[in-house]
Structure 1
Amino acid sequence: MPLTRPRTYAFLVVCLFLLGGCETAPLAPNVEPPTEYTYIIGPGDNIEMFVWGNPEVSRSVPVRPDGKISAPLVEELPASGKTPFQLARDIERELGKYIRNPLVSVIVSGFVGPYSEQVRVVGQAAKPQAVPYKENMSLLDLMILVGGMTEYAAGNRSTIVRTVNGVQQQFRVRVDDLLDNGDISANVNVLPGDVLIIPEAYF
């Protein structure tokens, strides 16, 4: 069925916007990954709390959606946004009210991480999703995690939205060249908080 005039105008506006974005967005630089990256705890993570010499208060507890944990003798303790080391010291301070010189170790499992650290993939990925950032993560690693692209994807028009010095910027990436042609030069580093947008191809 032919497009009506209002729909045609709207379609053209969307196309011009997308084309303009492709023309102005530079290729994503292969920036250095964060040095000495330390995992940050987020809602949905699971915390293994070991209290040496006190197995009765050692527990596996989830980080609630509000970013807090609750365990024996530890109530409503903020965990999100902290490293495992920082959380262990906070738990020691809380337990110190009841136990003499507690020694706590914290191990994280079921990694999710805070929202600001997650890498999100939207659009024509096989499995669009948010994934926790991993040290030295690359575009290829990310595409493996989301299962590649759909048959309708325009991989070489994909962009990464990244915050640089507090300013949101958009960079073009060549996913088709990377996956279909094995062009390793297209395999750029991914940073915490990146959003990969894979658009649909024009037909």
Structure 2
Amino acid sequence: MMKRNFIFIFLLILSCSHTLPPPPVNFSNKPVVIKEFFLGPGDELNVFVWRHPDLTLTTKVDPWGRIFYPLIGEIQLKKMTVLDLQKRIQKGLSKYLVNPQVTVSVKTYRNLKIMVLGEVKKPAVFPIDRPITITEAISLAGGFTLDAKQTSIIVIRGNNQNPTILRLNLKGALTKADFSQNIYLQPGDIVYIPPSIIANLERFFKRFESILRPFVDLSVGVLIWRRVEEW
């Protein structure tokens, strides 16, 4: 009798849970998707100008995020990608050359670190030697745990006083080859994978499957599962 009472209470909680309002969210569901990697202090760059070996050089971004280039002078690289810098140099050289052909590449990236926390198998701080995407970072951390909420991955970017909070849905990237939110991480980014209440309930349900099966038929089990999914 006690076991039957427990099952009844458990089913009642599950059947009512979908009526509860979702918890408030203080950040946008539409993150700023940054697909390029910003240059920064310590990056070593190769600049190649076709047919102009005197303008072809290797330079390093100084601690203030600047480089100095012949004929142009100081170039501030704040929030500038390789392509942005390439266009900036090409525009500057256009005053002296006809249709300059400029190619910029990164010879050596600076010492980069990111942090992956939450529902991953090996949460840690990871040094990286190149730009990586968020799915690559999660792979470095051993992948998701069973309780990971893949539809609400949080990226904390910037300083502690004024951080930028991004909310990403990676389920499509992993199941439907939709990589629109598989952004490149920036140095110092913190990736947090929250636990999924749905995942916890699913595991809890499976643990009690042997107890529930004698008391409920398949149709009731499907109904319970749908309601858990809706929560």
TM-score (norm 1): 0.48
Higher-Rg member (1/2) = 2
TM-score (norm 2): 0.43
